[in-house]
Every structure is written in structure tokens, then in C-alpha cells.
Amino acid sequence: MVDIGIFRSGFPDSANFGFLESLGLRSIVYLCPEPYPEANYEFLKANGIRLFQFGIEMCKEPFVNIPEETIRKALKVVLDVRNHPVLIHCKRGKHRTGCLVGCLRKLQRWYLSSIFDEYQRFAAAKARVSDQRGSGHLEPSRAYLEYHVDDFSGWLRRRVQSSYKWDRIRSCLSATDMCSELNQSYRMAQDFFNARITPLQSGCCKPPTQCGYTFVNPTYWISPINNAADMDCLNWNNDQNQLCYNCDSCKAGLLANLKKEWRRADIILLITLVALIWVYLIGCCAFRNAKTEDLFRRYKQGYT
């Protein structure tokens, strides 16, 4: 909750619709340029929620300046009490949402230090270089990496954004023992925090670090009083059949795992290609030598 009648979050999916209904929303301010998903749009239509879209590109390197006029228009919507309760969201509910909320705080005469503190609390530190590669993000006091779905290309994201496709993938993931084996390997919190777990385990078996959950074991965590920093924080469930399988972090972990497997496949294919080229060259040399020897033999026979 940002203020009375104003909320913020990451991108909501069908699993969050029940919670959104409980807020009694009148409006949603959407800060991404991509079209709003059909399922979400139908939910808004069914509940009489008005959508305001202000397309702001992701601020990756090279950095993108957020248009001042776009922020002004979005602020007018947020400040108009006729639109309350209103939910502000982008993909992760961090940077674009944080910039808009920061401007709102400035209008509320907050000190700049307090505005930046709030921004950092929600956004946390992000390694921009790794953002572009989808190679994971370092978190304080953690050896493992965490993954964000919007770090990957649109083509890859579309492979996991469909609820129908993801339900099938999720059922396969939950049937494995990748999460339960963490409980056997890591009993103490510090041992787990120092572990080099896989992208899938990082995304699906535990809540995101920024949510502030307290460790009990790798797949069981105590919820903080306020865990609304990200929609994934609300999606986490200690039920061993649910965990974070509905989280965007799980989808990101799957995509990161796929990219890692593709890199291995690329290396194998490259080695195979080099080997085939060598075989081809050796074959060509052998064939040429055989032809040369045959030519000399015929020439010699004809000469004698």
C-alpha cells in the first residue's frame, strides 16, 4: 500500500485476481508498453476496473530516460480520487512503478533521502550488466543468484506466460524432487544461503530474498508482516505442492535453466562441427592422395 486508496505491485496474473477483487479497485495504472494480456483485460471488464496505460520502456543499459510528460499524465490519474482505489504496476513493480511513486512522494513533500530509501527497499540493487544477459542477480549475503522474467527476450517470455502452458509445466516441476532434496542437503540457514543452487531451485523452491521471509528450512519460510513488495511475495505458499511454482521467479528460473542447457548444446554442436570438418578434410586429403597415386601408377604403366 502506497497511500490511502493507492496500491503498488508487480504484474498480476490469474492467481492474484481474488486478492485484487478484495481491494475493490476502480482503476489500474499500467506502466509497460506491451499490450495488456487478454485474461487480465477480461478480469478488469468483469469487475468494472478502468485501465490507464502509460507505456514506459525498461531502463536497461544504455539507459532510457522516462518521459516527463508520461509521468505527469500518470500522476494526474493517481492523484484523482475518482480513480481510487487504484493499483500501479509494471512488470516487477520496482523501477517504473518506483519512479512514479517517487514523484508522488515528492508532491507529498517527502525528503529526498526518504524517497530514495523507499525506492531502494522495493527495487533493491540490480546488476544492470547481468540484467541484459538474463544471467541472474546477486542478492546481499547470498551465494545463489535470483532471476527476473523480464530479463529475457519477449519470445522466451511468451513461452511461459500462457496460463495453459504454465499449468502443464508447473505440474511437471512439482512432481520432481528438486525442492525436497534441498531440505535434505541444507539444515541451517547460513548453509543454504551459501549454497550454489540451480536457477530452477532458486526461482521455484523459495520466496524471493527481497520479500523478507524468515528461513525455517529451504522450502518453509515465515512470512513478514508486510510482504507486498512484489506479487511473487504473495504467491509464495509453504504447501510443498505449491511453493513458488506460481511465481514469475519460477518462470525466470526455468528460462535461465533452458539458456544454460542451450549453451551446453551449442558447445557440443560446435565441437561436433569441428570434428566433422576435420573428418571431411582428412577424407578429402586421403581421396586426393589416392587419386594422385592412381594417376602416377597409370602414367608409369603407360610409360613402360
**From 32, 90, 179, 244, the catalytic residue:** 90
d(CA 228, CA 178): 27
Distance (Å, rounded) from C-alpha 99 to C-alpha 150? Answer: 18
Query: Strands 86-89 and 50-53, how do they pair?
Result: unpaired
- DSSP symbol at 7: E
Active site residue 103: no
List b or e across 62-95, with b for residues whose CB sees 16 or more CB atoms inside 10 angstroms: eeeebeeeebeebbebbeeeebbbbbbbbbbbbb
Distance of alpha carbon 40 from alpha carbon 25, whole angstroms: 13
What number of other Cβ atoms are within 10 A of residue 9's Cβ?
24
Dump the DSSP string for 166-184: HHHHHHHHHTSSTTHHHHH
Are 212 and 225 a contacting pair, CB within 8 Å? no
Grid cell 531451485 is found at 201
* Helices 112-123 and 95-107, axial angle in degrees (round to 10): 160
DSSP 8-state assignment for residue 246: T
What is the identity of the amino acid at 77? Answer: V
Closest C-alpha to 148, from 88, 277, 138, 71: 138
Active site residues: 90
